[in-house]
Structure 1
Amino acid sequence: MGKVVGIRFRNGGKVYHFDPADMEVKKGDFVIVHTEQGVGLGEVVEGPFPGNEKVHPKELKKIQRLATADEIHTYSENLRSEEEAGKYCLERIQVHQLPMNLVDVEYLFDRSKIIFYFTADGRVDFRELVKDLVRRFRTRVELRQIGVRNQAKMVGGLGICGRPLCCATFLKNFHPVSIKMAKEQNLSLNPSKISGACGRLMCCLQYEYDTYCALKKGMPKMGKKIETPEGRGKVIRQNLIDRRVTVLLESGQEIELEIDASEPRKKKDK
């Protein structure tokens, strides 16, 4: 398999992989490709790098050519038009008093269609809104409802870690995240501590989940009663990285026990 490049068509959008063929392209180049929605202009954000048959299909779509200065100018004009369309759409949403939140606006490169992305708690009757938008922009109009995770990806921002949101920077796809992942990593189950900007469980909970599951193998579970050199006790805390557990003995004494060692270490008095 040959080289592969990753192309993004919108800020914070999904990265799509294409075959550069014999073209010399690099990060930051704008290129013209054929997509399911027609001709598209995108920015090279990954590669080129060797393709992986386990990840990429055998026949990737090829890059047609580098974008011209005029096409890049058209792309910039589309971005300005999107901003104006967003303001008008917000105005009409208020006029019709629709329970929806406009997130983003996207013009196709050839301006054959304009897409309005929005979030809402349920179904919204936006037929009158569509009529207003079609009369104003004289092109095909699509209103596409998205989830709150996609909203965070499009809008961007900073996480509680102080860094830009993973979904808006490098995450290509969303993966299922469960409360079990937080429990396995002994994290606080306080919603404000484990929820992202979207209000859902943070995507980063899955990053080290497999590692913690592997570290827990062979470790006594929380609450389990075990025999120690100093007597029988119950596991009350775990330190997976150091492979130590804190055991509360029947005598009321707490000791730290290294799982791979036979000698316990008494817990220091505070």
Structure 2
Amino acid sequence: MDREKLSDKLADIVPEKVTTVRNNGSCKGCPRHSTKLHVYDWLHDYPEMQDLTNMVEVQFKNTRKGYYLNSNKIDLNKGDIVAVEASPGHDIGTVTLTGKLVEIQMRKNNYREDSISGPKRVYRIARPADMEKYELAKAKEEPTMIRAREIAEGLGLNMKIGDVEYQGDGSKAIFYYIADERVDFRQLIKDFAAEFRVKIEMKQIGARQEAGRIGGVGPCGRELCCSSWMSSFVSVSTSAARYQDISFNPQKLAGQCGKLKCCMNYEVDAYVEASRKLPSREIVLQTRDCDYYHFKTDILSGQITYSTDKNNPVNLETISKERAFQIIEWNKKGKKPPRLAPETETSDVKEGDIHNDLLGDQSITRFDKKEAGGATKRRKSRKGRRPDNRNKKGRPPKQNEN
């Protein structure tokens, strides 16, 4: 009999020590094993919420997750390593979410169970025999990926194999690949099955999904959105950069996947809404001195900068959008203001006014007392003054004796 099958039979007869990884190294709402597609369990302090459903969320390698039914009523906590149902055999994953939030995540990710067999089940908490198989299967992933790339290149296929993931029991391997066009990999699957002796599954992913599986840190200093929380990817166009007045620099607009950054879509709706409340950039503001042309706009703050030259920054003036609308209304009536900026902005600032200038407010002379006339008192010379506590002879005054 095979050694692995024998160990499984003995495990069913002799109770083995349960092996698991509890979530003791972090807060109760955070999973410990991985930060990819992390979901904070903000209902972990409510025990009644944990018993509302038997479904649990299990995470596998990188960003692959699945939802399984805890039909055996096993006491599962975040961080437990479990054996779950797979086709064929079983898989090994880590519990990342339990309770009511699992149903919310299932609706968010458009989870659909099999109409014939129903939801897949959680078999048990992983035993040492399961973990031994799991470690042996994971050790094959790197050499398998290198060999798979060599086979694909030998067949002349225009595709890139980005990652290989073995099932927990080693009976199946998932090959993640990227291709710009449709690839006929029927012969490739036959060569893979003959080479690796496992069931083969080919899964096509995009450049953003590949970046999420690999992980990394973005230019903002935080972990990549596609690796930490984003599961559905929307198309990003250059119009999002145009609405936000971002310079069209390919090195700054592109992320680690080589595509446009997903974060460009986060605030584009706010910019579009704010730009509707601004005057048109084609309108020329007329004053008594000269005409002003649009130069640049700070959309969120509503500050608009105008120039006296149409193509070059000359005599730049920055005004608010309210002032711009006011001048436009005057120009329609045939009126021209004396200057672009309002009178209050061009008036001289008084010496005692404070305008939140950190350096100016912290002057070292701010505590000095000034005289009414503006001149400070001069101390008398030592020759012309007499101390108050001495008499004419220079002796201290006598004290009254009681």
If the length of structure 2 is used for normalisation, what is the TM-score? 0.54
| Residue of structure 1 equivalent to 2:148 | 89
Cα distance change on mapping 1:152 and 1:55 into 2, 3 Å: closer
Alignment gaps of 5+ in structure 1: none
Deviation of the 1:218 alpha carbon: 0.9
1:175 aligns with one of 221, 234, 240: 234
How do 1:121-132 and structure 2 match up within 5 A?
121-132=180-191
SS in 2 for 1:75: helix
**Which stretch of structure 1 is more off in the superposition, 137-146 or 29-38?**
29-38
> Is the 2:307–2:317 contact (alpha carbons within 8 Å) kept by the matching residues of 1?
yes
| Alpha-carbon distance in 1 for matches of 2:121, 2:295 | 58
Q: Which has the higher strand share?
A: 1
Q: Does 1:75 pair with 2:134?
A: yes
| Residue of structure 2 equivalent to 1:30 | 81
Q: Does 1:234 pair with 2:293?
A: yes
| Alpha-carbon distance in 1 for matches of 2:110, 2:162 | 32
Deviation of the 1:10 alpha carbon: 1.9
> Is the 2:58–2:94 contact (alpha carbons within 8 Å) kept by the matching residues of 1?
yes
- Match of 1:141, as an amino acid? I
| Residue of structure 2 equivalent to 1:135 | 194
How do 1:50-65 and structure 2 match up within 5 A?
50=101, 51-52=103-104, 55=108, 61=119, 64=122
- Match of 1:42, as an amino acid? G
Deviation of the 1:179 alpha carbon: 1.1
| Alpha-carbon distance in 2 for matches of 1:59, 1:93 | 33
| Residue of structure 2 equivalent to 1:214 | 273
> Is the 2:89–2:171 contact (alpha carbons within 8 Å) kept by the matching residues of 1?
no
**Which stretch of structure 1 is more off in the superposition, 150-159 or 16-25?**
16-25
- Match of 1:64, as an amino acid? V
Q: Does 1:255 pair with 2:317?
A: yes
Q: Does 1:185 pair with 2:244?
A: yes
- Number of equivalenced pairs: 265
| Residue of structure 2 equivalent to 1:154 | 213
**Which stretch of structure 1 is more off in the superposition, 113-122 or 124-133?**
124-133
How do 1:112-123 and structure 2 match up within 5 A?
112-123=171-182
CA RMSD of superposed structures (Å): 3.8
**Which stretch of structure 1 is more off in the superposition, 127-136 or 47-56?**
47-56
| Alpha-carbon distance in 1 for matches of 2:226, 2:281 | 33
Q: Which has the larger radius of gyration?
A: 2
- Match of 1:178, as an amino acid? S
Cα distance change on mapping 1:112 and 1:224 into 2, 3 Å: farther
Percent of residue pairs bearing the same amino acid type: 30
| Alpha-carbon distance in 2 for matches of 1:190, 1:28 | 43
Deviation of the 1:125 alpha carbon: 4.6
Deviation of the 1:230 alpha carbon: 8.4
> Is the 2:134–2:170 contact (alpha carbons within 8 Å) kept by the matching residues of 1?
no
Cα distance change on mapping 1:65 and 1:142 into 2, 3 Å: closer
| Alpha-carbon distance in 1 for matches of 2:297, 2:87 | 51
Cα distance change on mapping 1:159 and 1:223 into 2, 3 Å: farther
Alignment gaps of 5+ in structure 2: 1-48, 114-118, 327-340, 347-402
> Is the 1:30–1:72 contact (alpha carbons within 8 Å) kept by the matching residues of 2?
no
- Match of 2:135, as an amino acid? S
Cα distance change on mapping 1:113 and 1:36 into 2, 3 Å: closer
Deviation of the 1:201 alpha carbon: 0.9
SS in 1 for 2:173: strand
SS in 2 for 1:172: coil
Cα distance change on mapping 1:256 and 1:203 into 2, 3 Å: same
**Which stretch of structure 1 is more off in the superposition, 219-228 or 97-106?**
219-228
| Alpha-carbon distance in 2 for matches of 1:228, 1:16 | 66
SS in 1 for 2:140: helix
- Match of 2:203, as an amino acid? R
> Is the 1:41–1:67 contact (alpha carbons within 8 Å) kept by the matching residues of 2?
no
How do 1:33-48 and structure 2 match up within 5 A?
33-34=84-85, 39-46=90-97, 48=99
| Alpha-carbon distance in 2 for matches of 1:228, 1:25 | 74
> Is the 2:158–2:179 contact (alpha carbons within 8 Å) kept by the matching residues of 1?
yes
